[in-house]
């Protein structure tokens, strides 16, 4: 700490995240923000081509694809994710305007229209050469960080824009207050709601908080984040979720209510290990512990996309009911004012080259890196691919 300002760093600073080549503290004159989304289908005809885009070369079993296609078909073939990103883009533009910041927002997706290619074409047309990307994913792993960076590099290469357009990326923001505070508020509200719905309930013994995130293959998890920091089997991915869950529990309940980190939306062949326990398996164990009500927190997700609507609001809710539990699902950050403000702060942090000591982070793991090391979050199954926004090898 420099002592200039009280930064809300609940657990104090950690040497591992201290200033180094992974943090950029030189100001950069960015031309625009690149909002990089996942993308989703917007009609029945889009469903299969979209799923082909997502799963190309991944070895996802046919039955799993049919199952996921069914989730989309249930909602008319429309994923909510594109509208959520349209709303986020509008909210970012309003926040930027209200703060007098002149940075246009270009939106492009990895897997569906509008594509990253379209956003880059627009950047080229408008003569932009320095973009700061916000990917709609908060944690470190292949799927939630590196895959975005590889796609930036691929599109720049395909368009012959390497060396002309620079794409930087804001740090993974899992422990930024703008991302975490909406969850704290959501858990507080959920506790109040459950007290009303289950009169006389004892939160300490009869409530449980389940922090849920996307399962990923165990090999991807082990490779998430820099190996040097020794995060163990679950890698930075599991460590980050555990640290954020701890903070949310402390801030929202004083640590009184018991909690677990659980996983959802497993894919891949059954023979391949993915992170566990599955949320539904954990829910089924809770009645035997005396639990009567469960608070489901979609801690791994920035908005209410398909995995939240289907796997939590449908499946996990049904499992809770079957097990005689009252359940509440907490909102995702979505377009919460604190989240939107936080994303703009993350952009300014890079534009202005804010010293690391002044960057807010609520866990000892962060503030996370601006530029990743060469092998960070590499996918061992798919092999090495070049990635933008990284340190030179």
d(CA 366, CA 300): 17
Whichever of 40 and 203 has its CB closer to ligand HT9, that residue is 40
- Contact with ligand HT9 (CB under 6 A) among 55, 250, 323, 358: 55
Q: Which of 271, 256, 262, 265 is nearest to 296 (CA)?
A: 262
- Contact with ligand HT9 (CB under 6 A) among 263, 301, 339, 368: 301
d(CA 129, CA 127): 6
Q: Please, are residues 365 and 348 in contact by the beta-carbon 8 Å criterion?
A: no
- Contact with ligand HT9 (CB under 6 A) among 30, 38, 152, 259: 38
Stretch that binds ligand HT9, among 60-68, 154-162, 184-192, 221-229 (CB under 6 A): 60-68
Whichever of 203 and 235 has its CB closer to ligand HT9, that residue is 235
Whichever of 307 and 378 has its CB closer to ligand HT9, that residue is 307
Q: Does 51 bind ligand HT9 (CB under 6 A)?
A: yes
Number of residues near ligand HT9 (by CB under 6 A): 26
Binding mask 191-230 for ligand HT9 (x = CB under 6 A): -----------------------x-x--------------
Q: Does 52 bind ligand HT9 (CB under 6 A)?
A: no
Residue carrying structure tokens 């989730």: 71
Q: Does 174 bind ligand HT9 (CB under 6 A)?
A: no
Give, as ranges, the residues between 307 and 336 that touch ligand HT9 (CB under 6 A).
307
d(CA 208, CA 204): 8
Rg, Å, the chain Cα set? 21
Q: Please, are residues 304 and 273 in contact by the beta-carbon 8 Å criterion?
A: no
Whichever of 54 and 116 has its CB closer to ligand HT9, that residue is 54
Whichever of 2 and 271 has its CB closer to ligand HT9, that residue is 271
23 is in an annotated binding site: no
Q: Please, are residues 242 and 262 in contact by the beta-carbon 8 Å criterion?
A: no
Whichever of 108 and 300 has its CB closer to ligand HT9, that residue is 300
Q: Is 59 helix (H, G, I), strand (E, B) or coil?
A: coil
Give me the DSSP letters along 319-358. Answer: HHHHTT-EEEEPPP-TT-HHHHHHHHHHHHHHHTT--GGG
Q: Does 264 bind ligand HT9 (CB under 6 A)?
A: no
Whichever of 282 and 305 has its CB closer to ligand HT9, that residue is 305
| Phi, psi for residue 123 in degrees, rounded to 5 | -60, -45
Give, as ranges, the residues between 101 and 160 that touch ligand HT9 (CB under 6 A).
137, 141, 143-144
Q: Which of 199, 187, 194 is nearest to 254 (CA)?
A: 187
307 is in an annotated binding site: yes
Q: Does 48 bind ligand HT9 (CB under 6 A)?
A: no
Q: Which of 111, 11, 13 is nearest to 355 (CA)?
A: 13
Q: Which of 241, 244, 252 is nearest to 191 (CA)?
A: 252
Here the tokens at position 162 are 């390497």
Q: Which of 238, 281, 235, 285 is nearest to 261 (CA)?
A: 238
Q: How many CA atoms lie within 13 A of 312 on its CB side?
A: 29
- Contact with ligand HT9 (CB under 6 A) among 32, 35, 36, 54: 54
Q: Does 262 bind ligand HT9 (CB under 6 A)?
A: no
User: Which residue ranges make up the annotated binding site?
Assistant: 79, 148, 214, 307
Q: Which residues bind ligand HT9 (CB under 6 A)?
A: 38, 40, 51, 54-55, 58, 60, 64, 68, 79-81, 137, 141, 143-144, 214, 216, 267-268, 300-302, 305-307
User: Which residue ranges make up the annotated binding site for Fe(2+)?
Assistant: 214, 307
User: Which residue ranges make up the annotated binding site for Fe-coproporphyrin III?
Assistant: 79, 148
């Amino acid at each position: 700490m420099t002592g200039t300002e009280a930064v809300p760093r609940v657990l104090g600073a950690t040497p591992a995240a201290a200033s180094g080549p992974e943090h950029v503290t030189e100001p950069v004159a960015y031309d625009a923000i690149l909002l990089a989304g996942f993308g989703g289908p917007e009609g029945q005809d889009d469903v299969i081509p979209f799923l082909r885009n997502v799963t190309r070369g991944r070895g996802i079993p046919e039955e799993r694809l049919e199952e996921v296609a069914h989730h989309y078909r249930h909602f008319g073939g429309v994923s909510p994710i594109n509208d959520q990103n349209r709303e986020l883009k509008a909210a970012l533009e309003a926040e930027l305007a209200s703060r007098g910041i002149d940075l246009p927002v270009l939106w492009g997706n990895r897997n569906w229209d509008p594509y990253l290619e379209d956003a880059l074409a627009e950047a080229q047309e408008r003569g932009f050469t320095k973009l700061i990307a916000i990917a709609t994913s908060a944690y470190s792993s292949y799927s939630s960080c590196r895959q975005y960076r590889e796609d930036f590099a691929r599109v720049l290469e395909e368009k012959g824009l390497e060396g002309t357009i620079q794409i930087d990326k804001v740090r993974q923001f899992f422990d930024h207050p703008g991302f975490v505070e909406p969850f704290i508020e959501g858990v507080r509200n959920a506790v109040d709601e459950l007290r009303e719905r289950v009169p006389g309930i004892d939160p300490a013994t009869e409530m449980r908080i389940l922090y849920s995130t996307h399962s990923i293959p165990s090999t991807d998890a082990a490779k998430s984040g820099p190996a040097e920091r020794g995060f163990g089997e679950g890698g930075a991915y599991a460590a980050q979720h555990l640290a954020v869950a701890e903070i949310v529990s402390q801030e929202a309940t004083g640590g009184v209510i018991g909690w677990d980190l659980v996983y959802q939306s497993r894919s891949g062949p059954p023979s391949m290990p993915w992170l566990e326990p599955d949320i539904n398996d954990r829910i089924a164990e809770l009645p035997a512990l005396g639990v009567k009500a469960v608070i489901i927190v979609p801690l791994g997700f920035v908005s209410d996309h398909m995995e939240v609507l289907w796997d939590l609001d449908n499946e996990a809710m049904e499992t809770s009911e079957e097990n005689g539990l009252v359940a509440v699902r907490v909102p995702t950050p979505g377009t919460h004012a604190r989240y939107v403000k936080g994303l703009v702060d993350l952009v300014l942090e890079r534009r202005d080259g804010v010293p690391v000591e002044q960057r807010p982070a609520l866990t000892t793991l962060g503030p996370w890196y601006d530029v990743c090391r060469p092998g960070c979050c590499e996918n061992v199954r798919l092999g090495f691919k070049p990635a933008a926004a990284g340190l030179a090898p």
